[in-house]
């Protein structure tokens, strides 16, 4: 199945998969490098996938990329899509007469499909999915429970939207004035390109005008906020709790860690890497790696953090020096006021 090299003469029956520390008899596990050799000695797995240059006391499959092999093996344990998304249109679903759902595989309980919607071949909807008027969805998509897509938004093919994803909610646009905050109409759309996956609870706001775009192959973690008119490039990875301010542009192949905040109108260049907890207030060049609040080059940031750890000891040293300087100053003052042994200064010409 994995097209690897079998190591050892044993041929155990494999019925499951797990990491080294969690594996039990019947499980296949894996190791990627020498840092896990101790865990390999202790594992209860029946067999392991190993890279070249590492030996195993267990029956093993040798592959150049063990993690990829393990991921391929895990596909055998995925629950059938027909089990998760039963075929057909559930009797409680409400489908507008002008919607084209003829190519969809399944529409689950309590789904609401608005006027003018269309779905491509092989697309599946779980329960309580809501599609506003004129939403288009491509082929072989999966929309899990309580996904909501508002009017006119477009979703490509092979897109996965996990539970609670909202596409096309209003962008956060208000104008302050004497009577309070005036709402700016949000009349644009959201476009999700092919092969995108968006985690549970994430939101992509519709554009004020034009398009908020998430590019081909990009993956968003849970609880990611994409503001109005944002352009996210292709094959990006964006971790949980990240918020992207309106009209920012994220290049291709960008990696963004968890809890990153990106201000409005910031441009992130292709291939840039943003470490978790960073605050982005200015543009980042292509290929850069940044960290901190505000985010700066990662090496410079680490030097600053290293220096900050030394501040308490530095403060103690300064206080000791201040104390010593103060004592020396006091001694010097006393010497000037009392220079002689009995407190009287010797005058020139006095007999010693």
Q: How big is the CA angle at 275 (ends 274 and 278), to the nearest 5 degrees?
A: 85
**Which one from 57, 90, 228, 235 is the annotated catalytic residue?**
228
137 pairs with which residues across the strands?
119, 155
Q: Which residue has the tokens 């494999």?
A: 14
**What CA–CA distance (Å, rounded) separates 186 from 168?**
9
**What CA–CA distance (Å, rounded) separates 191 from 201?**
18
Pair 47, 104: CB distance under 8 Å = no
Quick check: is 228 catalytic? Answer: yes
Q: What are phi and psi of 183, to 5 degrees?
A: -75, 135
Residue 72's Cβ-count burial label (10 Å; 0-12, 13-18, 19+) is middle
**What CA–CA distance (Å, rounded) separates 334 from 313?**
32
Question: Which residues are identified as catalytic?
Answer: 228
């Amino acid at each position: 199945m994995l097209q690897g090299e079998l190591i050892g003469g044993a041929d155990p029956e494999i019925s499951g998969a797990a990491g080294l520390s969690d594996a039990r008899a019947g499980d296949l596990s894996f190791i990627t490098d020498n840092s896990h050799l101790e865990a390999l000695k202790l594992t209860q797995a029946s067999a392991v996938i190993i890279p070249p240059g590492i030996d195993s006391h267990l029956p093993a499959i040798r592959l150049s990329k063990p993690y990829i092999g393990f991921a391929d093996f895990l596909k055998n344990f995925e629950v059938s899509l027909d089990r998760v998304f039963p075929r057909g249109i559930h009797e409680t679903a409400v489908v507008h007469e002008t919607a084209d759902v003829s190519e969809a595989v399944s529409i689950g309980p309590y789904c609401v499909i608005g006027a003018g919607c269309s779905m491509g071949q092989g697309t599946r909807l779980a329960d309580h999915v809501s599609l506003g008027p004129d939403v288009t969805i491509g082929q072989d998509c999966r929309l899990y429970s309580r996904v909501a897509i508002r009017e006119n938004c477009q979703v490509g093919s092979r897109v996965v939207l996990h539970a609670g994803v909202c596409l096309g909610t209003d962008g956060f646009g208000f104008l302050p004035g004497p009577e309070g905050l005036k709402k700016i109409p949000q009349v644009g759309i959201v476009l999700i390109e092919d092969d995108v996956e968006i985690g549970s609870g994430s939101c992509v706001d519709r554009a004020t005008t034009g398009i908020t775009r998430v590019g081909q192959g990009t993956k968003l973690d849970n609880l990611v906020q994409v503001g109005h008119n944002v352009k996210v490039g292709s094959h990006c990875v964006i971790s949980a709790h990240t918020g992207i301010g309106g009209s920012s542009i994220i290049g291709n192949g960008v990696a963004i860690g968890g809890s990153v905040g990106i201000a409005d109108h910031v441009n992130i260049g292709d291939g840039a890497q943003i470490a978790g907890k960073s605050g982005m207030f200015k543009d980042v060049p292509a290929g850069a790696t940044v960290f901190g609040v505000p985010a700066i080059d990662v090496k410079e940031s680490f030097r600053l953090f290293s220096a900050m750890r030394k501040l308490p000891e530095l403060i103690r040293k300064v206080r000791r020096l201040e104390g010593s300087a103060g004592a020396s100053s006091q001694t010097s003052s006393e010497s000037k006021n009392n220079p002689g042994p009995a407190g009287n200064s010797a005058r020139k010409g006095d007999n010693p």
